[in-house]
Amino acid sequence: MNLAQPILIVEDHDFQRRILARLLDALGARQVLEAENGRAALALLDAGHAPGLVICDLDMPEMDGMAFIRHLGERLPDVPVIIASALDPALLGSVAKMADAYGVRLLGVLEKPVTRVHLAQLIAAGDGERPRRVMSPMPSFTLEEIEAGIRNHEFVPFFQPKLDMKNGALAGAEALARWRHPAQGIVAPYGFILTLEQAGRIDALTFLMLEQAAHAARRLREAGLDITVSVNLSTTSLADVTLADRVTQIVTACGVEPKHMVLEITETAAMTALAPALENLTRLRMKGFGLSIDDYGTGFASLAQLARVPFTELKIDQGFVTGCSENPNAHVIVEASLALARGLKLRTVAEGIETQADWDALRALACDLAQGYFIARPMDEAAFVAFARGQPK
């Protein structure tokens, strides 16, 4: 337990603060700093105090816990925080997400009245040094480097399985771009997608991915796997009315029928009223491609906007799926999304299933397909074939 560094208590209630200070003393804390609200706590930081841990109430006058966490994230993002609060669990969930978004490491929540055992457990949780999450990964590659990689065909699809939740059978795979960088190893999409999109140069990657995914789809079908392969389309690509025909050409040239491929488009893209986007999507559907609404729940698409495009599938964003068994608000959103999808006669996919509990919750809600680390991470084609052999037919 790291009690050698000062511990800062931010709590407006004198009695509660006293109790916490006494508990910390009893646990062997070297120094306990006390502040009665966020502003007073900031003043302590300004005066040069450097706590190794902050225990913070949420509801306080002058500067509440949320504002203090934001300031802490700006000044001392490496200092872990324990929230001590009597608020209801749904609200605590939002606070945890907020803290994460501000780059603050939340060790956990202490419910009041605070007990010594629980406090000790949370402080101990802070001992395991966790690599800090990279908040805004530096796009360490230039556009020129990325485009050279595309020309050299260094980009390959990895495949993440989608399982039928009724019987666990393999139903499909999502192709996710990976850069086999000659020096850096496997590079994930955040290292290159945004750079390409912002430069208006994503199409070359899209077509390369599409072609390789279609080739893989043909090989997988030849190996006896009756599954669909999904590919991600960028919103920016939809503005060009020739997209649908080029996509169709690439896929059919690989010997694959469009009905065995699904194109995933983010919910935000589905909202664009852009005539060319609608023309492309309608044409792709007419050719037989499946069309999936990706990241559903992160945009604000209206029912009318969703109904306008002939979608075949709805993927609920992992932000709601992961942990939905424990988070009542997320659970409600997932349930409502599934009802909406059913009403629109769309196949439903839950993405981001990380635990048995998430799987059970989604299955109980009769979601059609599941995708997530609980089943498998994205993998190269050979590993995917091996995975497929191990699944029930």
Task: Determine if 295 is a binding residue for ligand C2E (CB under 6 A).
Answer: yes
Residues 4-63 that bind ligand C2E (CB under 6 A): none
Number of residues near ligand C2E (by CB under 6 A): 24
Q: Which does 37 bind (CB under 5 to 8 A by kind): ligand C2E, Ca ion, none?
A: none
* Minimum distance, C-beta of residue 8 to ligand C2E, in the bound complex (Å): 31
Residues 6+ apart with CB under 8 A from 6: 30, 31, 32, 33, 49, 50, 51, 52
- Run of H or E including 40: helix 38-46
Q: Where are the beta strands (DSSP E) in 153-252?
A: 155-164, 170-181, 185-187, 228-232
Q: Which of Ca ion, ligand C2E, none is residue 36 near (CB under 5 to 8 Å by kind)?
A: none
User: Which 315-344 positions form the footprint of ligand C2E (CB under 6 A)?
Assistant: 318, 322
Q: How far apart are CA 302 and CA 340, in angstroms?
A: 11
Q: Which of 11, 294, 335, 381 binds ligand C2E (CB under 6 A)?
A: 294
Indicate the DSSP class of residue 259: G
Assigned token pair, 344: 């629109």
Backbone angles phi, psi at 44, to 5 degrees: -65, -40
Cis omega before residue 77 (within 30°)?
A: no
Q: Which is nearer to ligand C2E, 50 or 186 (CB)?
A: 186
Q: Do residues 371 and 174 touch, judged by C-beta distance below 8 A?
A: yes
Question: Which tokens is 97 given?
Answer: 């997400």
Give the strands of the sheet with 106-111, arranged side by side.
32-35, 7-10, 53-56, 81-85, 106-111
For 55: left if phi > 0, alpha if psi spans -120 to 50, otherwise beta; the answer is beta
Stretch that binds Ca ion, among 14-22, 94-102, 212-220, 292-300 (CB under 5 A): 292-300
Q: Which two tokens stand for residue 357?
A: 């509990």
Q: Is 299 in the site for ligand C2E (CB under 6 A)?
A: no
User: For residues 20 and 238, which CB has a smaller minimum distance to ligand C2E in the complex?
Assistant: 238
323 in the Ramachandran plot: left (φ > 0), alpha (ψ -120 to 50) or beta?
A: left
**Which partner, ligand C2E, Ca ion, none, binds residue 193 by CB below 5 to 8 Å per kind?**
ligand C2E
Q: How far is CA 244 from CA 71, 135, 194, 238, 257, in A?
A: 48, 35, 22, 8, 14
What residues between 225 and 264 interact with ligand C2E by CB under 6 A? 232, 234, 264
Rule CB under 5 A: say whether 313 interacts with Ca ion: no
Asked whether position 189 contacts ligand C2E by CB under 6 A, the answer is: yes
Q: Residue 353: which of 339, 367, 343 has the closest Cα?
A: 367
Q: In the complex, which residue's CB is closest to Ca ion? A: 264
Distance of closest approach, residue 190 Cβ to ligand C2E, in angstroms: 6
122-161 residues near ligand C2E, rule: CB under 6 A: 160
Q: Rule CB under 6 A: say whether 352 interacts with ligand C2E.
A: yes
**Binding status of residue 188 toward ligand C2E by CB under 6 A:** yes
Residue 177 binding partner per list ligand C2E, Ca ion, none, with a CB distance cut-off of 5 to 8 Å that depends on partner kind = ligand C2E
Instruction: Mark residues 205-244: x for contact with Ca ion by CB under 5 A, - for none.
Output: ---------------------------x------------
Among 23, 209, 244, 269, binds ligand C2E (CB under 6 A): 209
- Residue ranges binding ligand C2E (CB under 6 A): 160, 176-177, 188-189, 193, 202, 206, 209, 232, 234, 264, 294-295, 318, 322, 351-354, 371-373, 378
